Amino acid sequence: ANSAAAGGPPHKVMNIAHRGASGYAPENTMAAFDKALQMKADYFELDVQMSKDGKLVLIHDVTVDRTTDGTGRVGDLTFKELRRLDAGSWFDPAFAGERIPTLEEALDRYRGKIGILIEIKNPELYPGIERKVAKALKKRNLHKPRNGKIIVQSFNHDSVKKFHRLLPSVPVGVLISYRDEGISDKELRNFAKYADYVNPNKDMVDRSLVKRIHRFGMKTTPWTVRDRAEADRLKSIRVDGIVTDYPDYVHPR
């Protein structure tokens, strides 16, 4: 079929490796970010929180229990204590010795090589985290869009607004958890005042929502895709990006 018959020219979707290529390596570790790069993802996503002594660390849960060999809340542990933990063995013994990375390490290692989608996780627990993320980006000149593909997002929309005020040149996204009632025009109008992306749970996203987000001048990168059929469906409704544990499911076949 020619592309017009298929509904317009083939469209390039951003391939975003969720917590790194977390289907193949332990999430939020350098091993998973390396894998995302190797697999030619356009971006990888990471979750940033703060240690007791104020370091920006990459980990998804509020506690270290699931993804390390330690226990306790991230914010109750010092960086030194967090760094001692093994963040790889829980996934597969082949990844024993992987450490919890810092945001700064990830920026230094991957800037210019692959885009980075930064999720500010649980910001309500970490007063001042937006300022620290902004500082880490600015120090590396990454607040200038031409210097690297950086997007910042959060489920906490006050945190997104706060970050946007600190560093308006960095694109920001609002994350939306699944809800039956969808997203109203009124909400979209509000998001459009500061956000570049509206990123809902994929199960909320149909062609009509994608069109409405676009109509308000924003983009959408729904999450989290763990099968090929879902990647194909999201492509067909013309989302701008797909957040996936398996970057190979998004590449054209």
Handedness of CA 243, 245, 251, 253 (dihedral sign): negative
Question: According to the binding rule CB under 6 A, does residue 27 interact with ligand G3P?
Answer: no
C-alpha span between 38 and 47 (Å, rounded):
20
Of 223, 225, 241, 250, the one binding ligand G3P (CB under 6 A) is 223
- Locate 148 and state its tokens: 């690297």
Q: Which residue is nearest to ligand G3P (CB)?
A: 223
User: Whole-angstrom Cα distance, residue 52 to residue 127?
Assistant: 12
Should residue 47 be labelled a site residue for ligand G3P when binding is judged by CB under 6 A?
yes
- Residue 243's binding partner among Ca ion, ligand G3P, none (Cβ under 5 to 8 angstroms by kind) is ligand G3P
Asked whether position 176 contacts ligand G3P by CB under 6 A, the answer is: no
Residue 202 CB, nearest approach to ligand G3P (Å): 10
> Helix or strand or coil: residue 48?
strand
φ, ψ of residue 195 to 5 degrees: the values are -95, 150
Binder of residue 245, out of ligand G3P, Ca ion, none (CB less than 5 to 8 A by kind): none
Q: Among the residues of the chain, which ranges form H helices?
A: 30-38, 79-83, 103-110, 129-139, 157-166, 185-191, 207-215, 228-236
60 as an active site residue: the answer is yes
Query: Whose Cβ is closer to Ca ion: residue 6's or residue 220's?
Result: 220
CB nearer to ligand G3P: pick between 45 and 240 = 45
Give the binding site for ligand G3P (CB under 6 A).
18, 45, 47, 60, 119, 175, 199, 223-224, 243
State the residues that interact with Ca ion by CB under 5 A: 47, 119
